[in-house]
Amino acid sequence: MIINNNTPIFVTQPTLPSLDEFVKSLEEIWESKWLTNNGKFHQELESELCKYLGVKYCSLFSNGTLALIVGLQSLRITGEVITTPYSFVATTHSLHWNGIKPVFCDINEHDFNINPNKIEALITPQTTAILPVHVYGNPCNFEKIGKIADTYGLKVLYDAAHAFGVNINGQSILNNGDMSILSFHATKVFSTIEGGAIITNDKKLKERIDYLKNFGFADEVTVVAPGINAKMNEVQAAFGLLHLKNIESEILKRKAIAITYRNQLENINGIKTYNDFEGVKHNYSYFPVLIQKDFHKTRNEVYQLLKEHNIFSRRYFYPLISQFPTYKELPSSSSNNLPIAEKITEEILCLPIYGDLKPEQVDKIVQLIIK
């Protein structure tokens, strides 16, 4: 692709696998006439992902939202679930689709994740689980969340849609809680076009999840639950297998971009950048900055200015989920309950980051912001 001044720059772009190799995979699928329902590519991707991610069991899904919905079903979560308003709407929608009442908890300023110190005050006799999100791939505080869950007998499902491949001291963060849910949407660092997965350490639970994503079928004549159709097909899985080959180089390229942004922005008054966390292998799926009061432009002015230059940054996550009409009347959506989330949502801007982004494009973005 030829890049010129008018080439739009999006917040992210998928780095595609080789078209020739993808065509070869398609030929194999055509030849076999096996298109979906736990085919060869599907099985291979589950096993390759377990190896790459360092996890025990992986169940593939047609998208991350259905994985969240089925994950909640598989653990029979009911009543109330404590979650974060600072996420993509799908996190809370998955509760709504299960008839569960979301209870919003405020977030931390340093990592954008649910603040574990504020969870206990929100627990009621109806609370059955906690649904935290590793926002931008930043690991949640597992220890504190796990301790609360143990004390109150709650399940923990981590929405790990942004956290593909994130490790702490070499250990995958996906092994925490009862399960972790991934998204493999085209905008994610690892992609199957549309797709997702549930990660668990529990063999029986994996079995149940697999029944639920296939209408509840345990075998040809046995339906064990009112399942849904949430299966990943062979074309998605073949795409994913090829994408996985390039994941490490994609992450390294993104890391270089993150470093360039930081070097140029970290000393600018009114712009807050974030460093890597100690011991964490990040995936650089997003590059969030805060545009604060003492900067000479507002966050929305920066967003608009970039847009006028064909640069599409995103305000992930603005508005908060608690501010959408479906959820804003909930008691936990009140501003007093969510002061930090309400502050961050007004200041956040995610700058473009993806492997194919050129250094001169990064420079252009930085210059537009700071000049």
Question: Considering only residues 196, 240, 288, 355, which one is a binding residue for ligand T4K as defined by CB under 6 A?
Answer: 196
Number of amino acids touching ligand T4K (CB under 6 A)? 24
Tokens found for residue 217: 């079928």
10 touches ligand T4K (CB under 6 A) = yes
| Buried-exposed string 112-124: b where 16+ CB fall within 10 A, e elsewhere | bbbbbebbeebbe
63 touches ligand T4K (CB under 6 A) = yes
Question: Considering only residues 39, 45, 58, 64, which one is a binding residue for ligand T4K as defined by CB under 6 A?
Answer: 64
12 touches ligand T4K (CB under 6 A) = yes
Q: Which residue has the tokens 């995103």?
A: 314
Residues 87-126, interacting with ligand T4K (CB under 6 A): 87-88, 90-91
Q: What angle do CA 118, 124, 130 make, to 5 degrees?
A: 55
Measured from the CB of residue 294, what is the shortest distance to ligand T4K in angstroms? 28
Residues 308-337, interacting with ligand T4K (CB under 6 A): 312, 314, 316
161 touches ligand T4K (CB under 6 A) = yes
Task: Report how far residue 216's alpha carbon sits from residue 211's, in angstroms, rounded to the nearest whole number.
Answer: 4
Report the first-to-last Cα separation within the chain, whole angstroms: 29
199 touches ligand T4K (CB under 6 A) = no
Question: Considering only residues 133, 163, 232, 357, which one is a binding residue for ligand T4K as defined by CB under 6 A?
Answer: 133
26 touches ligand T4K (CB under 6 A) = no
CA torsion through residues 63, 239, 246, 307, sign: negative
Following DSSP, what letter does each residue of 134-177 receive, concatenated?
-GGGPPP-HHHHHHHHHHHT-EEEEE-TT-TT-EETTEEGGGSS
22 touches ligand T4K (CB under 6 A) = no
Grouping H, G, I as helix, E, B as strand and the rest as coil, residue 65 is helix
230 touches ligand T4K (CB under 6 A) = no
Q: Across-strand partners of 282?
A: none
158 touches ligand T4K (CB under 6 A) = no
Name the residues that contact ligand T4K, by CB under 6 A: 10-14, 63-65, 87-88, 90-91, 133, 159, 161-162, 183, 185-187, 196, 312, 314, 316
